[in-house]
Amino acid sequence: MFGYAVRRIALVVPVVFFAISLLFFLFYVLPGDPVTILAGGEGRTIPETTRENIERRYGFDQPVLTQFTDYWKAVLQGDLGESYRNNTPVWETAKQFAPNSLRLAFWAVILEIIIGIGVGIISAVKRYSYLDTLTTLVTTVAMAIPVFVTGYLLIYLFGIRAFQNGWPEWLRFRTGGTPSEWKFLVFPGDDESFRRLVLPAVALAFVQIAVIARMMRATMLETINTDYVRTARAKGLTERAVVFKHGLRNALIPVVTLIGLDFGTMIGAAVLTETVFSYNGLGSAIVRAAELRDAPVVLGLTLVVVLAYLFVNLIVDLSYGLLDPRIRYDD
Amino acid sequence: MTTEKVISTSVGGGDTDTLVSSGADDEAPVEASLRRDIWKRFRRNKLAVVGLCMIAMLILMAIFAPLLVRLESTIGGIAELDPEKGTSPARLPPSADHWFGTDKTGRDLFARVVYGARISLLVGFAAVFISTTVGVVLGVLAGYFGKAIDGFIMRITDIALALPYIVLAIALVVVFGRSLFTIILVLAALGWMGTARIFRSSIIQQKNQEYVEAARAIGCSDWRIISRHLVPNAIQPVIVYSTLAIGTAILSEAALSFLGVGAVEPTPSWGLMINHGRSALRSDPHLLFFPAAFLALTIVAFTAVGDGLRDALDPKLKR
């Protein structure tokens, strides 16, 4: 298992390296001179001495390849550089935004697991019932609805109409801002934070709940038709034991992969949800920085996001062994 | 990601494929009945048929937009003040004159939404046409020639997939300037990886089949084997993927425009309309929800047709 993990990491290192390097050169060729940004923005005449100072301090007077190697040397020593805009170390920015992203992704994944897997199982067990047909129809449509449409619909219903029409208290939610109080890392610490968290988490999970429900249904139907499930039935096991112990456990593997991938993606790519709900996450921080051409922030945060994604994937891969003892890693 | 996985595992499809390629003499009638079979299976999926009708209506709407609405009310400036009431026609609620109401500069929202179909469909089809072409070429090269070429192309694909696409899109838009043309290029540049991967695995599965061996035995060139034998037999998963990709491209255009890095005013892009509508959500929700509904329905339609095609093309996968 350890050997497998090492091999996997060895495979992804070059991919990460080239991806970040590509971004580095892309930002190097972008119009817009970083010195102007550092000296306080466009439309200003910069004194020659200031320009020289800045160039020397940030190494812009060096050839691009030297800048490139210097950047990677610093990164390997754990220094992601400083923002061109406000001189905050990129690490600080990452530390500020990453927990928010992780929490949002965590709750979205919880919703996916509970609703997605639950609906999928029911749909598979009650195959061809009205409930199953309805699920297929609803999930097909839900899968295709853009997250910002869902987001604004939620905001309109539970953030605006709920207040205008005097809906009961528990149906009213906050529609903007990042929850600030947390207990035990991921639990919203107070009512206010809870009410800020719910809508973005639902919006973010919405499409994937549908995807997972469909996938769960499909894999569940596949396993239910296998010989060992028939054997389990023939042995006289209760229907519950057949479905959960023999069917579900074997059907879970592809679904777990999908959920893992999702969690990895949502950490850094929840840009639209974060924008709709003014939620301070990594994704929208990267986009903001890209619009401002703040290269160190974009590169640094992207690196964090990509590493988190790959780490989650590795964990998911290694967890197969727990779900299915037949899987071995070091053959 | 998921669709890709489902498709790539379903590539097999041996029976129908060999059916087409076997017997060059009676190819035409066999193919015709194969198509009829596919159509028959496709028709059974109600949602897919509804989707197909919706797409047809959208295309008609896009083509005949000038007949439906007046152009000047889409792009044109601020409508005049109502001389009798002395009120501005901006932000009117939906009415008989303005079916979807008017936006904050007094433009008829229905007209803009109708013209928006042009933008969405143009971007969707153009971007997917380019990305599919690139993906198919790279997929063939990687799948057919294998070895170093395969390794090289697949590593590039991995790297391209590892980058967060919105960041890349923003960077590219900044380089090339904001325009519809840029968006098409950006979406094409970010969309070929899926096609390349799927087509590669499809080609690999087909290239060791007997009909390819037979073609090689009678002395066909690589080019002939690829163009006449492999591509027609391996293309099915790509057709499905591309149909779904049109929906994704339309969504991405709207997302980029929504984030403020896509289409520019006064282009009637649904994403841009949603972006403008968000500030007035409390007072005039229709400004956001009409374009949003059209966007969502369009994507639903392409997804449904893609799903239906997949089931119709590969009957073994069905249920």
pLDDT digits (tens, 9 = 90+) for B172-204: 787 777 888 888 998 998 889 989 999 998 898
Please indicate whether, in this complex, the C-beta atoms of B281 and A160 are within 8 angstroms of each other. Answer: yes
CA distance A173 to A157: 9
Judging contacts by C-beta atoms under 8 Å, the chain A residues touching residue B274 are: 148-149, 152
Q: Are A299 and A23 in contact (CB under 8 A)?
A: yes
Residues of B in CB contact (< 8 Å) with A are: 1-2, 47, 155, 158-159, 162-164, 166-168, 170-171, 174-175, 247, 251, 254-255, 258-261, 274, 278, 281-282, 285, 288-289, 292-293, 295-296, 299-300, 302-304, 307, 319
- Mean pLDDT within A2-11: 79
Residue B230 distance to chain A (closest CA, Å): 30
Distance CA A271, CA B9 (A): 30
| Omega cis (within 30) before B266 | yes
Q: Strand ranges (DSSP E) for chain A? A: 182-183, 187-188
Longest dimension (CA), chain B: 85
Q: What is the mean pLDDT of the segment spanning A172-186? A: 78
Look at the alpha carbons of A267, A272, A273, A278 in this order and tell me if their dihedral is positive or negative: positive
pLDDT at A110 over 90: yes
Please spell the DSSP secondary structure of A110-129, one letter per residue.
HHIIIIIIHHHHHHHHTTTS
Q: Is A146 helix (H, G, I), strand (E, B) or coil?
A: coil
Alpha-carbon distance of A183 to A191, in angstroms, equals: 12
Q: Which residues on B lie below 8 Å from A286 (Cβ)?
A: 164, 166-167
With CB atoms and an 8 Å threshold, state whether B281 touches A152: yes
| B53-112 per-position pLDDT tens digit | 999 999 998 888 777 776 555 444 444 445 555 455 666 777 766 677 777 776 777 878
Least reliable range by pLDDT among B6-15, B222-231, B295-304: B6-15
pLDDT at A204: 93
CA distances from B36 to B29, B39, B228, B312 (A): 10, 5, 22, 10
Minimal-distance CA residue of chain A relative to B247: A144
Q: What is the pTM of this model?
A: 0.82
Indicate the SS3 state at residue B49.
Answer: helix
Calculate how close chain B gets to A243, using CA atoms only, in Å.
19
- For residue A254, what are its two tokens? 């592809």
Is pLDDT above 80 for B5?
A: no
User: Quick check: A146 and B296 CB within 8 A?
Assistant: yes
Summarised one tens digit per residue, pLDDT across range A133-178 is 899 889 988 888 889 899 999 998 988 888 888 888 888 887 777 8
Which residues in B lie closer than 8 A to residue A287 (C-beta atoms)? 166-167, 170, 259
d(CA B215, CA B196): 24
pLDDT on residue B277: 84
